[in-house]
Chains A and B, each alone.
Chain A
Amino acid sequence: MASMREIRRRKDSIAGTRQITKAMKLVATVKLQKARKKAEESRPYTIFVRQVVQSILAASSELDSPWLRKGKGDRLAVIAITSNRGLAGGYNVNLVRKLTESGLPKDKVSVYAVGRKGRDALARQGYAVAGDYSEVINEPLYRDAMELGNRVLKEYGDGSLEAIYLLYTSFQNTVSHVPVLLRLLPVKEKPEKKEDEIPVPMNYEPDEETVLDRLIPAYVTNQIYGAFLESLASENGARMAAMDASTANAEEMMERLDLLYNRARQGSITQELTEIMAGAEAVQ
């Protein structure tokens, strides 16, 4: 059996770890609340933009816009949003796996990494990293989404990309986060036709195609911004859950070690007593 001293040292170490995981959990909880509030505030805008895009596409099927056609290039841009820090359970691993299991050909994919963990993991797997925007994810701004969006849109317009994908973690609730691979361009959002709904005849000024040409970039930027916010909320949710589990594990280990320690203490007292008694007997 381990000695009392060894057990005590182990107990101290675990108590230290438990304190750290507990603190990290608290920090993640606060950050989650903030990130969640932001994500919820931006949602009406996202829904609205999508609605307008859909209603234009639904109203006229023979629209022709470069955004609706397949890009002329052969590269697939994947905007991968992960975190800069680890200790968030399976958050980053799940996202990377989503891409490796998606069936997108590895040699055609260019990764635009937002988050160091994903960037490193994907680079290790042999994906080409075309851009690194890792600093952004700490505190995402709309301007950041615009910058990244403008870059991929420009490359799409120049004819070096075939399609643009967005890889992020969708925030369902505090405990459930789902990795999502979404195709941004070419737009494929064909709304399902509802039979009982009569579409309102809508005028577009200057005309439908101009509106669509301006609307799609805004739509892409907005989707990226929304993905930033949801990913950030998911990251902190995942970290909170992971740290909660580690705190519970530390707690459990402490209990077991307490028992071991007490048993070792009792053993050593018994041993000392037997030794004293044996000594006293020998004197008599």
Chain B
Amino acid sequence: MAETFHLRIVSPSRIFYEGEAEFVEMKTVEGRIGIYAGHVPTTVILDPGMLVICGGGRTRKAALHTGFAQILPDRVSIMAEIAEWPEEIDGSRAEEARIRARRNLESGEDERSLRQAEMALKKALARLETVDRLQ
């Protein structure tokens, strides 16, 4: 059996997940990273994206929107402003949000509205990926 580490995901409204995991994958501003136990201590900034937790022969997915992760050899702590399990995500709503965000991105004028649209698009894509509806 693979070595495990303690994974803890907190959001402002609840402790989202707490338990042992063998592997966790997440999306940072630098790209996707995968973490096993014994990782070098690192703090990373998260981008909206899908999170994958593997442990105890099970794989779980979740959508995370902006946050931070603190990685230590025996412990990984993730703080996310919003965290959602697939069953909490409304796929059709996310699809709608994706289309709307893409439209705004094409028609947006100033830098601010463009950045907002980009963020909205990233969040929508993270949700869609988590519920396996990404074409």
Contacts and interface: CB of A to CB of B under 8 A. Distances in A.
Contacts of A225: 12
B44 A205 contact: yes
B10 A52 contact: no
B13 A42 contact: yes
B99 interface: no
Given A41-B15, A142-B13, A205-B30, A48 B45 contact: no
B68 A45 contact: no
16 contacts: A42-B12, A44-B10, A45-B10, A45-B12, A45-B79, A52-B43, A56-B43, A146-B81, A200-B72, A204-B42, A205-B43, A206-B29, A210-B45, A211-B44, A211-B68, A222-B12
Contacts of B10: 44-45, 48
A198 interface: no
A215 B43 CA distance: 11
Nearest to A208: B43
Contacts of B29: 205-206
Nearest to A225: B12
B72 A206 contact: no
Nearest to B15: A44
Interface of B is mostly: strand
Interface string A1-43: 0000000000000000000000000000000000000100110
Chain A's interface size range is 20 to 34
A147 B43 CA distance: 26
Interface string A35-64: 000100110110011001000100000000
Given A45-B11, A205-B44, A218 B68 contact: yes
B14 interface: yes
Interface of A: 38, 41-42, 44-45, 48-49, 52, 56, 142, 146, 200-206, 210-211, 214-215, 218, 222, 225
A151 to B, nearest CB: 14
B104 interface: no
B12 to A, nearest CB: 5
B81 to A, nearest CB: 7
Interface in B36-56: 40-45
